[in-house]
Amino acid sequence: MAFDYNHGTVFFRDEFVPFDQANLSIASSSVLYGLSIYTVFGVSWNNEHGKLYIFRLKDHYDRLVQSAKIMDFHSFANQWPYAKFEQTILELLRRNNIQESILIRATVFIDELIAGTKIHDLKNGFSAYLYALGEILPRSGINVCVSSWTRTADNAIPSRAKVNGSYANASLMKNEAILNGYDEAIAIDEHGHVSEGTVANLFMVRDGILITPDPATDILEGITRKTILKIAKDLGIKTQERSIDRSELYLADEIFMCGSSAVLTPVLSIDRRAIGNSQIGPMTDKLLIAYQQVLYGDNRKYRDWLTEV
């Protein structure tokens, strides 16, 4: 049975409490203005080892710190050094007695009431909760469209900061896609280049080269994205980070999306044009297998990415 977050223990502000007691006021800055940042990371249960492994916990913490710096959530890094963050996450897992693969969402939020659109010198709060891994996108493959909505630019809401409020942009894209019979949408930046999906980074394969949009294309600098690039290079796969035009997507041999929640999800078609043979491609399959071996602690080469619970 999948973990039921409704009956789990969460961390909220400064204590562990039942899920239904971790609430914010309707007058809070987080609710009124989306003034919060977050990260999501996977925890994998290896039944053979009888162990839980948290994937790249320090990297997710660092991204929270970087997001806080960009958004001027000035007190987070001082109040939450990495050792405190790590111990809180470990205790959260122990209190919930987890023996399955799950996800953890950790959030830093402006914990003030009716403070207007101010950020600096306002109190920061921290929360973390667990939820079942599930499938945010069908792992068997997805049919996607290029959205008519433009990706928010770095000089509007910076993509390098994982800001809750920015997902209004992604939600418009996802909603449009679903209403038109697609599973997911691809965002285009203000310069007309491919950016990413609504909740995942994008990779394509052309002529044996693994290609992904570069960080200047208003993408989130995803941790799974970095992981895939590293694994691919170690497997001898040539990689490129560069701008991609919309029409180039239609010519790709393979395309997949990736993220902590999306894992590696093959794209079967874009704008009703088949990608490859509309099945998971050989390079995507190879990278998926290698990635899962890393997550579950079966490849010792990457064990320094894992925090054992």
Contact call for residues 186 and 145 (beta carbons, < 8 A): yes
Q: Which tokens in the block code for residue 64?
A: 């929270």
Strands 194-197 and 36-46: unpaired
Q: SS3 for 112?
A: coil
Distance CA 245, CA 190 (A): 12
Contact call for residues 129 and 6 (beta carbons, < 8 A): no
What is the CA angle 96-101-107, rounded to 5?
A: 65
255: Cα within 13 Å, side-chain hemisphere: 28
Q: 41 - beta bridge partners? A: 104
Say whether 162 is catalytic. Answer: yes
Distance CA 221, CA 215 (A): 6
Q: 71 - beta bridge partners? A: none
Q: SS3 for 9?
A: strand
Residues 6+ apart with CB under 8 A from 70: 158, 160, 161
**Active site residue: 162, 174, 238, 286, which one?**
162
Q: Which residues are catalytic?
A: 162
